[in-house]
Amino acid sequence: MPAYIDRPRSIVDSEIVEVTGWVAGPAPTAAMVTVNGMAIAHESYERPDVRDAMPQFPFTSGLTAIADLRALPPSRTLDIIVSINQDRERHRVEVSDALHDRWLDEAAKRAANRAFCKIHLRCPACGATGLEITSAAVTCKACRVAFPQRGHALDMISVPLAIEANLAITANVSANPYTPAALALIDRVTARGGVVLDCGAGSRPQRTASVINVEIVDYPSTDVLAIGEALPFADHTFDAAVSLAVLEHVRDPFKCAQELLRVVKPGGELLIDVPFLQPVHGFPHHYYNMTAQGLTNLFAGRAEVLSCTVPPHGHPIFAVQWLLRDYLAGLPRDAATTFGAMTVDELVALNAAAFLGDPRAQGLSQETQSPIACLNTLHIQRL
């Protein structure tokens, strides 16, 4: 059965490589794409050009796959293989010198972080240190809980912990750049040889030396898989910690705050971003927005507040814009047009209670109201 790799055909210069190609045959068959031996998930799509060019084959399909090279050991070349049944189409491309250098650098940082983490690991189930670490599993000698190792990051999430944190499988990719304040803290601490915990790091485009990325998703930049309520590190492991737009997604932010404090050395700094007036944005869950007072209260009695301020990326204009944008998007077209034409003065002067019967208010479904609601009502019956 024929297969062909369209791209890449020339020197690769980016960590993110899009592989495209096609397969043809007598009947639909599952194809597999690998890059340097690693299987890459692919999507199929119609390829009329292939179908027309190969009328002798009843089945033709295009395929596209995205490989993130940071998940692979550094190499000078990429061996791309599309296999379909016993047949294999193989194509080799070179990697640019610049990419190879970045790739080596990334791998070295990953290895250094892994070595650091292995020394400082602590069982997230019972709190014991001195874990048994093999390539297949990390095992707690005290409580015998085993953490099977499957991906690239050190996996310290057991099934009970996943249930406790209500983790959900998600295809969303959370990727935000460091804020200027976080970058300044990281620079300051790492410059004097310190190590920083990035709790809920998301997918970082590039690793920063001596920053340990903790996540619930195994991104290429993730060092350790863990839940915030049970960090798998010994007390006083880190010189500082950052947690940016994470605590609103944590089921127990009080416990998570205590964990952050526990793993940072006395005198170490913590930088925490948490939204207040942000609409619901589920990744994968969104529990608690916080006022400045609430955020500060999480750490009360265990840390000195150096400052609690609104950074430029937290300016109220983002809240106003986000809210209005979601409001407009939730309205039927006619109502959106007339609502959109209202001035800010008109909105502010509005008798909101009387406006509830207006199509510009009624037009919002319960579903679109919830993420931007002023208030929710919960009605329950105790067990």
Binding site residues, Zn ion, CB under 5 A: 123, 125-126, 128, 140, 142-143
Least distance in Å: CB of 344 to Zn ion? Answer: 56
Least distance in Å: CB of 171 to Zn ion? Answer: 31
Q: At what angle do helices 316-330 and 333-340 cross, to 10 degrees?
A: 150
Measured distance CA(19)–CA(90) in Å, rounded = 12
Report the residue number, 133 or 323, with the smaller CB distance to Zn ion.
133
Measured distance CA(332)–CA(364) in Å, rounded = 8
Residue type, 335: A
User: Can you name the residues that pair with 238 across neighbouring β-strands?
Assistant: 264
In the block, tokens 């927005």 appear at: 289
Joined tokens for residue 202 = 């998301």
Report the residue number, 82 or 230, with the smaller CB distance to Zn ion.
230
In the block, tokens 């127990």 appear at: 252
Report the residue number, 24 or 140, with the smaller CB distance to Zn ion.
140
Least distance in Å: CB of 134 to Zn ion? Answer: 16
User: Can you name the residues that pair with 241 across neighbouring β-strands?
Assistant: 197, 270
Report the residue number, 232 or 253, with the smaller CB distance to Zn ion.
232
Report the residue number, 66 or 159, with the smaller CB distance to Zn ion.
159
Q: Is residue 203 classed exposed, middle or buried when 0-12, 13-18 and 19+ CB atoms within 10 A define those classes?
A: middle
Give how far Cα 122 sits from Cα of 24, 85, 142, 149, 239, Å: 51, 45, 11, 16, 17
Least distance in Å: CB of 161 to Zn ion? Answer: 11
Report the residue number, 112 or 142, with the smaller CB distance to Zn ion.
142
Least distance in Å: CB of 146 to Zn ion? Answer: 10
Measured distance CA(6)–CA(30) in Å, rounded = 18
Measured distance CA(86)–CA(73) in Å, rounded = 27
Least distance in Å: CB of 45 to Zn ion? Answer: 47
Kindly state the helix (H) or strand (E) to which residue 295 belongs, with its residue range.
Answer: helix 292-297
Least distance in Å: CB of 42 to Zn ion? Answer: 39
Report the residue number, 126 or 329, with the smaller CB distance to Zn ion.
126
